[in-house]
């Protein structure tokens, strides 16, 4: 069916005057009359009662006018939705946080995106670097926060922030009584609690290489994530190196946080997405992330 005729009839039904309707539509009156007759022929019913001095809508015409308004309104909404999707202002974006960075580095970025793109539905979940990379490759998420450096075929990564790594010590440890920054030589042989390297090889190596440049001391206990790691420290199992925001969020009785001497160890936070053609909603998030200063994020003393 010719949608233009639905438009013509909707305007005529509003004006109930051929001359005024033709002026609104920027067509001649004879052309409008011809299109309305063609519309009636297309539908197989009379839409106008032309027996009086002025035309009136037939019952079929009243129904057609109602549906014409609904149809044109739906088309306008559809056009707006399509245009919004093309701009990245509508659609669905699946994002996975990483458990080691639940604080402002990633949370603020998502909050700004949500504010700027209220028409985009966000599906948020939490994983870890290796899992987020695997889910990206499988197409199960659109973007994921990771801890660089990472190398994964078909995946692009941009650094969006960095934070200091703190030492978590049992409160009964002799070094817990020291004020100021700790020397690396003091912890060179201390037993360590760590998480499995396969969860995030890049982050694991970045932390261990900066905190223990002479090589990792004995790892006496492995825990799957930082929450259990901090509990192990509180129990006196060993010391641990934890990203600052995570360490402060999980701080518990029996654990003391201390900084290391200069240069302080730092790790990056990255945003990963699939390489190639990027959907507009993903591109908008990536572009926003690219504008975030890598040094962003508070760093208060312990």
Per the structure, the complete domain to which residue 45 belongs is given by 3-87
pLDDT score recorded for residue 302: 39
**Domain assignment present for 115:** yes
**Domain assignment present for 239:** yes
Residues 12 and 114 in one domain: no
Of 87, 105, 125, the one marking the end of a domain is: 87
Please give the full DSSP string across 50-61, using - where no structure is assigned.
Answer: -SSSS-EE-HHH
Residues 265 and 237 in one domain: yes
Residues 102 and 7 in one domain: no
Residues 117 and 135 in one domain: yes
Picking from 75, 117, 66, 68, the residue whose alpha carbon sits closest to that of residue 93 is: 117
Residues 43 and 160 in one domain: no
Residues 112 and 258 in one domain: yes
Sequence-distant (6+) residues with CB within 8 A of 42 are 1, 2, 5
Give the integer Cα–Cα distance in Å for 21 and 29: 8
Q: How many CA atoms lie within 13 A of 14 on its CB side?
A: 15
- In this prediction the pTM is 0.63
Sequence-distant (6+) residues with CB within 8 A of 277 are none
Residues 71 and 98 in one domain: no
**Domain assignment present for 302:** no
The verdict on whether omega for the bond into residue 149 sits within 30 degrees of 0, i.e. cis, is yes
Residue 225: both structure tokens together: 């994530």
Q: In Å, how far are 101, 212, 247 from 234, measured between CA atoms?
A: 21, 21, 12
Residues 68 and 110 in one domain: no
pLDDT score recorded for residue 292: 54
**Domain assignment present for 145:** yes
pLDDT score recorded for residue 291: 78
Secondary structure letter of residue 239 according to DSSP: B
Residue 284's CATH number: 3.40.190.290
State the residue for tokens 């504008």: 291
- Which tens digit of pLDDT belongs to each residue from 200-245? 888 899 999 999 999 999 899 999 888 899 999 999 999 999 999 8
Of 87, 119, 144, the one marking the end of a domain is: 87
Residues 183 and 48 in one domain: no
pLDDT score recorded for residue 88: 61
- Which tens digit of pLDDT belongs to each residue from 234-293? 999 999 999 998 888 888 899 999 999 999 999 999 999 999 888 888 998 998 888 754
Picking from 210, 206, 159, the residue whose alpha carbon sits closest to that of residue 184 is: 210
The total of structural domains in the chain comes to 2
Please give the full DSSP string across 170-221, using - where no structure is assigned.
Answer: ETTSGGGG--SPBPGGGGTTS-EEE--GGG-HHHHHHHHHHH-TT----EEE
The verdict on whether omega for the bond into residue 263 sits within 30 degrees of 0, i.e. cis, is yes
Residues 283 and 212 in one domain: yes
Secondary-structure percent of the chain, ordered helix, strand, coil, rounded to 5: 45, 20, 35
Residues 97 and 70 in one domain: no
Residues 209 and 142 in one domain: yes
**Cβ atoms 174, 262 nearer than 8 A:** no
Lowest mean pLDDT among 25-29, 97-101, 158-162: 97-101
Give the integer Cα–Cα distance in Å for 166 and 298: 14
């Amino acid at each position: 069916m010719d949608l233009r005729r639905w438009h013509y009839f909707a305007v005529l039904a509003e004006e109930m005057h051929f001359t005024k309707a033709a002026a609104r539509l920027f067509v001649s009156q004879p052309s409008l009359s011809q299109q309305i007759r063609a519309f009636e022929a297309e539908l197989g019913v009379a839409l106008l009662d032309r027996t009086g001095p002025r035309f009136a809508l037939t019952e079929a015409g009243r129904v057609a006018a109602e549906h014409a308004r609904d149809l044109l309104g739906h088309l306008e909404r559809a056009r707006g939705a399509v245009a919004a999707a093309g701009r990245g202002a509508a659609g669905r974006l699946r994002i996975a946080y990483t458990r080691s960075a639940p604080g402002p580095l990633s949370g603020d970025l998502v909050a700004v995106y949500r504010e700027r793109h209220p028409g985009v539905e966000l599906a948020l979940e939490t994983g870890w670097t290796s899992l987020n990379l695997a889910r990206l490759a499988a197409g199960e998420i659109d973007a994921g926060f990771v801890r660089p450096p990472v190398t994964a075929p078909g995946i692009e990564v941009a650094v969006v922030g960095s934070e200091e790594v703190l030492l978590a010590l049992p409160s009964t440890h002799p070094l817990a009584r020291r004020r100021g920054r700790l020397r690396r030589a003091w912890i060179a042989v201390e037993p360590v609690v760590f998480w499995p390297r396969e969860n995030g090889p890049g982050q694991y190596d970045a932390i261990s290489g900066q905190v223990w440049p002479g090589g990792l001391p004995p790892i006496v206990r492995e825990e799957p994530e930082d929450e259990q790691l901090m509990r192990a420290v509180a129990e006196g199992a060993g010391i641990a190196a934890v990203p600052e925001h995570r360490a402060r969020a999980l701080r518990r009785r029996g654990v003391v946080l201390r900084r290391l001497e200069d240069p302080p160890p730092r790790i990056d936070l990255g945003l990963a997405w699939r390489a190639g053609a990027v959907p507009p909603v993903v591109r908008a998030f990536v572009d926003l992330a690219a504008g975030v200063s890598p040094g962003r994020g508070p760093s208060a003393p312990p």
